[in-house]
Amino acid sequence: MRPLLTLLLVVALASPGLDAQETELPLDRLTPDAVQALVDRSITEATVYRDSLLAVRGRRTVANTLRLYDEMTLRFNVAQIVSLLSRVHPDSSVRAAAADGVRRRTAFLTNLRLDPRLYRAIATVDTMPADAETRYFVGRLLAAFRRDGVDKDSATRARVAAPRDESTRLGQRFNEVLRRDTMPVVFRDTAALAGLPPDWLVTQRRGPAGQVIVSPQDLRFVLQNAHDPATRLQAVERLQNLGAPDNHFVLDTLLRIRYQLATLLGYPSYAAYQFDGHMAGSPERVHRFLDELQRITEPAVQRDLARANSVLGRAPTWGDVQYLTYQLRGRDSPRAAVREYFPFERVRDALLHIADTLFGLQFQPAADLPVWHPSVEGYRVFESGRLIGIAYLDLRRRPGKPPSEATAFVRTGVRDRVIPRAAVLLSLPQARPGEPVLLGSEAVASLFHEFGHLLEDLLSVRPWFGTSGLPAEFDFSEVPSIVFEHWGRDPAVMRTFARHYRTGAPLPDSLVAMLEQPDEQRVGLGVRALLFRARMSLALHERPAGVGDIDSIVRAQQEASVPIGRAMLNAHPEASFTHLVGYDAAYYTYLWSAVMAEDLLGQFKSGLMDPVTARAYRRAVLEPARSEPAARAVETFLGRPFTLDAWARKLGNR
């Protein structure tokens, strides 16, 4: 009776009501001890539920076993926020405590997934009376246990924990090296930065002789806009060596550890291990997919190379790729003038208005919500008068915050139990007194992209914790963000809110064409740059431990993907490739998701502001969350499986 009494006590002390959850953690006055206590409490409560589950006697049912397992994971994920805090909290001691919490959580989760008693308990649950969502949940959960090694012998299971823990530690080390590598690039004068907009130039630091001092997080913008090839070369050399040489060696060790883990679990490579359970399913299918994209893009690439010669007056080099991707419409186009119509506050408000108009979500500013930094904006999110989520916009750069375009899922929601919470992270400059931050079209698109992730988190709320949140298939994860990004690229949509930041005048027709400028998904060379990163992440994770020099692998994939000559010998792009920690071998996800997104967008036949189609997309694609296979959700919306056709037509090749 003791486990049952303990369980009843915990149930009696159940989660607070939805409103009270806002104050679970004092984000505005966090201490390392508070972070540690949060992790301690989440592990303690999860352990109580685990022990109560294991103590069940007799016939196992959804109610007496699966419900306890789901409650265990729900309690454990109260501390999900430590992953965010380890990256963005301004206090280094809090970041360190949160990073320690991430490692402790990883160790606890590993032990859960390797516990054969838990596996046997769930495997014997009678799911015949259950609904389809519950049966799918159980089947996927058991597959995840097996993938993580629960069915291996005890000696193998004992060896799995160490490489998992070491992988977490090395991933944190990789990101910390990049956080600390803030050395700027010094350009000789403003003439070297011709092509950069004036409102951006005035925010840059100056040297004693008129030099312009540019931080690493702004160098991609320099690459896209600087007319001077010497300036672009200076920028690309710095970008391609961020984190080097330290991260080169961190990555080498991390790849060895991942290979060790995969082979322990019976897989030939870490890529094979990671892709088990993805939509693609295997490295072989990913290779075929990437090869097909390379074939499809070849005519567009050849057109781009021909146009590049006219734009540059010579054959392009590696320092020109970003520039060409964004400048193939002509280097004299008035991009700075377009920026003046997109002040940040107007873009943000338009984005929130679109979320209301199309998806029925009202974002209400909540200055009383505790946040981890004064520049973070908090919002309560309502639907039909009911609180359904909390959103944070952490969009400004600051010391100690790494440059990022990301969305952090702070809490996974559970219907009528837990409010979902998510945070959008960008690195926009701080506003100067009396002047707004002006956004270029790429910054607008990035904000919409990340907001698409946030919308998914708010809407993917199911009755089970285990069926809520992001779809189980990782390579589907960028679909909602790429779909919503199109609202931030569509000229018809953008004209509805584009107003000059001083005069309030609407965007003139003469500048509308600038809203259709190419990006990485619309230009052959841009797609090939994405292909390079996808092939690099895959090739590095198919490398047997200790076999193959990382630099040689990276250069080979670069030269095979982007046909502009030999790769730079003094470059180490892998050292700053942040997706190698988190996406690991699966950077192909961006292209896989882009193909699906383009197909889904084809259903908006009356334009992107059609609320009927938007609500149908919400119901079919976003709301199912982890309750069914992602392919089924896509097929429900399309009425058929997705194809490459719409994506290929975008490049003009079919």
Q: Which domains does the chain have, with CATH numbers?
A: 2-151 (1.20.1050.40), 184-238 (no CATH), 246-333+522-587 (1.10.1370.10), 339-516+591-650 (1.10.1370.40)
Q: What is residue 346's predicted lDDT score, i.e. its pLDDT?
A: 96
Q: What is residue 13's predicted lDDT score, i.e. its pLDDT?
A: 39
| Burial of residue 107, with CB atoms counted within 10 A of its CB: 0-12 exposed, 13-18 middle, 19 or more buried | middle
**pLDDT at residue 15 above 60?**
no
- pLDDT tens per residue across span 126-183: 999 999 999 999 999 999 999 999 999 999 999 999 999 999 999 999 999 999 999 9
**pLDDT at residue 548 above 80?**
no
Other C-beta atoms lying within 10 Å of the C-beta of residue 258: 27
Q: Name the DSSP letter for residue 334.
A: -
pLDDT band at 522 (very low <50, low <70, confident <90, very high): low
Distances (CA, A) of 419 to 89, 430, 439, 461: 22, 30, 31, 9
- pLDDT tens per residue across span 186-228: 999 999 999 999 989 999 999 999 999 999 999 999 998 999 9
- pLDDT tens per residue across span 428-469: 998 888 889 999 888 999 999 999 999 999 999 999 999 999
Q: What is residue 546's predicted lDDT score, i.e. its pLDDT?
A: 67
pLDDT band at 14 (very low <50, low <70, confident <90, very high): very low
Q: What is residue 654's predicted lDDT score, i.e. its pLDDT?
A: 42
Q: What SS3 class is residue 360?
A: coil
d(CA 273, CA 163): 14
pLDDT band at 338 (very low <50, low <70, confident <90, very high): confident
Other C-beta atoms lying within 10 Å of the C-beta of residue 276: 16
- 45's CB contacts (< 8 A; 6+ apart) are 10, 75, 76, 78
d(CA 477, CA 406): 12
d(CA 444, CA 507): 15
**pLDDT at residue 405 above 50?**
yes
- 561's CB contacts (< 8 A; 6+ apart) are 294, 528, 529, 531, 532, 535
Mean pLDDT score, 326-355:
81
* More confident position, 547 or 295: 295
Report whether 297 contacts 651 (CB < 8 A).
yes
Helices (H), 148-243: 154-180, 198-201, 219-225, 229-239
